[in-house]
Structure 1
Amino acid sequence: MRTEDPPSHSRNDHGPHFVQSVARALAVLRSFSGERPRQSLSDVARETGLDRATARRLLLTLADLGYVAGDGRMFELTPRILELGYAYLSGMSLPEIAQPHLQKLAAELNETAALAVLDGDDIVYVALVPSARLAAVKINIGTRFDAYATSMGRVLLAGLPAAELDRYLDRLHLTTRTERTVRTVEQLRHEIDKVRSQGWALVDSELEEGLRGAAAPVRDRAGRTIAAANVSVHAGRTTPELVEREHVPAILRTARLIEADLVGSALR
């Protein structure tokens, strides 16, 4: 997870309604991740860009509210943090509808299958059927990745209106995650155009070395891309040609089945 630098936020950036203390508290929560499940006060201050006094007040407030626990030196999130995402997920029919289709897809291919949505510049996993064959990659519901480096992200970016995609590309700062990661915005735009043309995406070892993913869009009744269905495989067991020939048709079929159930759910 990435954390915006809270001190850079101001009412001038967001308008007179903006409450900076809320932004800072959320930055503290987002500073915790799978790589940083427990942090000291200094860690939180460094990750958020806040001074130690402000970080301490926010951590203690979040502890009073039950979202953070600490022993005075180290802090960690509590299970209560799940409440913040539960309202969103429980109000969505999409993950529940997609889950049985993802289970069938995962069983058919014996690989990890997932569904993600676009949240800002990231993808967020909202449904997942993990495979033991990809156990080394830690992915859970709520996991976030840079959209540009993932197959689901490319599909979701390809579904954006042209003006929205332009704004995303204008503000994007590419990070080289592996030797295969796209290096320029022009290269990324070319890849997105390719996805838009062919209707699916294949990303090979750009997010993580040895991880190959393919994805297809899930669209609503109006034809808007609202999610992406994906299968992730270890590159050592497949080739891009094999994924395109055997995995992509199954992913496309799964996406269409999810769409059909979404329409049926909306009509009931």
Structure 2
Amino acid sequence: MSEPVLKGREEYGPHFVQSVARALSVMRSFTAQRRSQTLTEVARQTGLDRATARRLLLTLADLGYVASDGRAFELTPRTLELGYAYLSSMSLPEIAQPHLQSLARELNETAALAVLDGEEIVYVSLVQSTRLMAVKISVGTRFDAYTTSMGRVLLAGLPDAELDERFARLKLEARTDHTIRSTRTLRDEIDRVRKQGWSLVDSELEEGLRGAAAPVRDRGGQVVAAANVSVHAGRTTPELVERDYIPMILRTVRLIEADLVSAVAR
């Protein structure tokens, strides 16, 4: 995942409050791989000096968003409040949930819904399979968009100009031996996803994890989310996923879109 990047008034304008950006960068420096960090580690990840990082961490601790054992810091469950207002105001996850439940039950696999946030996807709805997953995911989990089926569907839904801008600053990292390493190859793949209306990613995010996704569009035809199914590669093949799973994902997406249009019309 991308590291926090601090920008200032020269980037955003005179309204920009640097202290807010710095506090958010401190919170974003904590990830699934860095659940607990020392002051030195937080300073390194954010690019802040130790004194500034310390003041921000202690302020976040006073507010209940960070806890410390005297040496290391970690986020607390209170941080969930920051995302709850957004999620609770969205009708889409609530609309999608029963359809994802049906999809997960029919396939006995994990089904999810994600949206695009910067260079990453964010899970906003999830139905976990009883089968073990190679990657631990939950609502709020983030992954680099280019490594996932949902991310590629969401990227494919962007206008060409915006997609060009993203590719100009994109840095590809190999998560596995199968991860696409060439921006040209990735762009060709996204163009293919646009034409066929779905994406299949095989062991690019995690070895042995296969994902298939399709776009969810609003009544104006704009891609607003992506729905997917994740399966262990040992239980199926790409050909079987394309033949058996993708038609069911596309059907699920149509049902979500129909309910979304109905909800907007009410």
Per the normalisation by structure 2, the TM-score is: 0.97
Aligned 1:11-50 pairs, distance under 5 A: 11-50=9-48
| Matches of 1:185 and 1:136, distance apart in 2 | 26
| Matches of 2:261 and 2:134, distance apart in 1 | 36
What secondary structure sits across from 2:200 in the alignment? strand
Aligned to 1:203: 201
- Counterpart residue type for residue 219 of structure 1: R
- Identity percentage of aligned residues: 74
What secondary structure sits across from 1:25 in the alignment? helix
Aligned 1:236-247 pairs, distance under 5 A: 236-247=234-245
- Counterpart residue type for residue 4 of structure 1: P
Aligned to 1:161: 159
| Matches of 1:58 and 1:266, distance apart in 2 | 41
| Residue 136 of structure 1: how far off its partner (Å) | 3.4
| Matches of 2:33 and 2:130, distance apart in 1 | 21
Aligned 1:143-222 pairs, distance under 5 A: 143-222=141-220
**8 Å contact kept, 1:2–1:31:** no
**8 Å contact kept, 1:113–1:128:** yes
What secondary structure sits across from 2:227 in the alignment? strand
Q: How many aligned positions are there?
A: 266
Which residue, out of 43, 51, 54, partners 1:53? Answer: 51
CA shift digits 1:110-132 (9 cap, x unpaired): 10000000001100000000113
| Matches of 1:106 and 1:113, distance apart in 2 | 5
Aligned to 1:63: 61
- Counterpart residue type for residue 32 of structure 1: F
- Counterpart residue type for residue 5 of structure 1: V
Aligned 1:86-101 pairs, distance under 5 A: 86-101=84-99
Aligned 1:66-145 pairs, distance under 5 A: 66-145=64-143
Gaps of 5+ in 1: none
| Residue 72 of structure 1: how far off its partner (Å) | 2.3
| Matches of 2:181 and 2:254, distance apart in 1 | 33
| Matches of 1:108 and 1:160, distance apart in 2 | 31
CA shift digits 1:129-173 (9 cap, x unpaired): 011323331001000111111000010011101111111111111
Q: CA RMSD in A?
A: 1.1
